[in-house]
Structure formats: structure tokens, C-alpha cells
Amino acid sequence: MNQQTITARIVCASVLCLFLISSVACSRTTLAPMFMAHDGSSVIDCSGSAGPSVDYKIYMLRLVEAPPGHVSGSIAISSINQEGLRNDAVHSISGSIYKDNISLQIGRESFFQQSVNVVGKLDNDNLTLSVGNSTIVFHRASQREYETELEKINKLGRHVVKINQANKQIAEAELNYQKLNTDLEDYIKWGQTRIDHLSNVRHWYADRIARYTKCLQTIRPLAEAHIPSWRWQWCVLSIENDRYNRDQFIRDGRDICLENQRRVTSLDAKIASVPQQLLEALSLMESVCPFLNDVVSCEAKVKNLKSLLGNIEKDKAVAAYRAIIPQVQNALDTDMQIEKEGENRLLIIDSQVTSLYQSASKN
């Protein structure tokens, strides 16, 4: 075999090899670096007792073939938790590809819920992966398309946050409404006690004025008759000791007036805040109803909120509270006036008794 023949055969063999290699490569769809899929429903489920949930996931598969026939990469799984926050889990992938057939080893906690070998087929822009009865179809995607899908799931998360906020505000508003009614009933009872207390204040001062006057009338002739003061000082000492009771009675009256102001201010603020809480919750619920799996139930909750909102101003306890406020204030003002007049009279008698006792003690 001459040199020329050998050269010709080598050339022919090289051409054949190149043809075979190109035939294999051309028989398979080009492997795209990114594939995307999603699973579940994008509708928010509020039927569970644990709160709103979204059974929706986005999968981003990144694959690189190097060397030929060997595949590696990662899969990112994005989902929304019950707080409305996005969770992103990334798992490594390795495997092989032959023509349009692909075999991958996918890590645990992927969409197959365990570490498994999956097989699939590459068909133009689609990559189908299967294991057992589970199949998921990925589509060729760009980074921009992936980011668009992530924004959709972020939006779902914001809706979940709104639902949680609305549920929390509704619960707080309903609790505050119940507590408000209890506080209003307590004030009405307390206020009625203050109104009924008027006669007690009058009696308290009338009784002391009578006793102080009797003491003065008793010791005056004794002092004028020069009877030793130690024989009638019991009367003087009883008045001196009663000064503490008088001071305490006045302080109690002032404290009651301050307590009334504090109660009224607090109750007025609560009456104003409960409707505001309900309005905020109502606005949130109305904005998320279209995204829930049970729109009818959501709209019924909105209707109940509106009804509750309208009942607050018509509430009997609120009306009774507002009706008794001026009566309580008038009773407290009258109390203070009685205390002022009564204390002035007691001070005069007290001064006269003290003066007689001091004069008698000097003699």
C-alpha cells in the first residue's frame, strides 16, 4: 500500500468521524441553560384554621452540559409561607444526557419530596421530568421571564400579608369592642354610684357640723366659768383628730374627679379607635377577596364587618354612657361645692374651739 493510498484512507476516516459526531449532536435539541415550571394554584386558601396558605411553587432549573453527555446545575424552588414571606430553596443537580433523553439526580426536598433519580425528555422548548406517577413539565425561559414569575409570587405573598393583617385587626377590633362594652357598663355603674353619693356627702358634712357645733356649745360656758380645760379637752381633741379625716375626704373627692376625667378620656378614645380598626380591616379584606379560593365567604365577612361598624354608634351601651356623662359631672361638681361650703363652716367652728381651749389653757 503506497503512501498516497494511506493518506486517502485517513482523510476518509476523519470525514466519517466528523459526520458521525455531528449526526449525534444534531439529532438532539440544544440544551437550554434555564428551564422554568410552576405547580399548584395561585389562589389563596383561607379555609384552614392555621391561616391563609398558597399551594403554589415556581421551579427554576439551570443546566450546563460539560463535558458532552454530562449535566450539572441547580434547581431553585420558590414558595410562599403562611406569613406571606417567600422561601427560596436551592438544590444541586447532576446527571447525564443522551440525544433527547436526560437522567438527573435531584437532591432531597425538591418537588419530588425526596432524593431521587428522575428521567425525562427534551423536546424543543420543553423538558419533561418524571418519577413514578409524578411528572412536571419545564419550559425554556429567560432570566427576565423568571423574574416576572417571581414578582407574581411576591404579589401573592403581599396578599397573604394583607389577609393576616386583616384577620389580626378584625380579632383585635372584636375583642376591643367586647372590652369596650364591659368598660362602658363599668363606668355607668360607677357613675351612678357618684350620682347617688351626693346625699352621702351632704350627710358627712351635716353630721360633722352638728358635732362640732355641739362641742363648741358645750365648752363655751365651761371656759367662761373657768372650768379647767383638762376636764373638757376631750371635745377639743376629737375635733383636732378629725382634721386628718377631713383632709382625706377632700383628697378622695379630688381623686374621684381626676378618675372621672381619665375614664371618660380613655372611653372616648376607645369608642373612636374601634371603628377605625374595623375600617382598616374592612379595607384590607375588600382588597384581597378577589384572590381567595372562597370569595363568597370573604364577601360575607366584609358584610359582617360593615354591619358591626354600623352597630357601634347605635350601641345601647354607648348611648347610655354618653347620656350619663353630664349627670356624673354635675354630681361631682355638686360634691365639690358641698365640700367647699362644709369645710369652710368646719374651719370656722374648729378655729373657735381651738381659740377657747388655748385661752383656757393659759389661765
**pLDDT the model gives residue 225:** 92
152 within domain boundaries: no
Helix pair 143-196, 295-314: axis angle to 10 deg = 30
147 within domain boundaries: no
65-69 long-range contacts, CB within 8 A, separation 24+: 65/31, 65/97, 69/96, 69/97, 69/98
The DSSP symbol for 43 reads S
Tell me how far apart the alpha carbons of residues 48 and 1 are, in angstroms, rounded to a whole number: 85
14 within domain boundaries: no
Residues 133 and 180 grouped into a single domain: no
Residue 340 CA: distances (Å) to CA of 137, 238, 331: 89, 21, 14
123 within domain boundaries: yes
**pLDDT the model gives residue 184:** 94
Q: Which three cell numbers stand for residue 247?
A: 383632709
Tell me how far apart the alpha carbons of residues 238 and 206 are, in angstroms, rounded to a whole number: 17
- What is the per-residue pLDDT across 284-308, written as a single tens digit (0 to 9) for each? 888 878 877 778 888 888 888 888 7
Q: How much is the mean pLDDT over the chain?
A: 84
- What is the per-residue pLDDT across 157-174, written as a single tens digit (0 to 9) for each? 988 888 888 888 888 888
Tell whether the model's pLDDT for residue 118 goes beyond 50.
yes
Which structural domain range is residue 109 located in?
24-141
Residues 105 and 209 grouped into a single domain: no
150 within domain boundaries: no
Block residue for cell numbers 428522575: 118
Residues 172 and 317 grouped into a single domain: yes
7 within domain boundaries: no
pTM: 0.63
Residues 177 and 127 grouped into a single domain: no
Instruction: Provide the total of helices (H) and of strands (E) in the chain, helices listed first.
Output: 6, 8
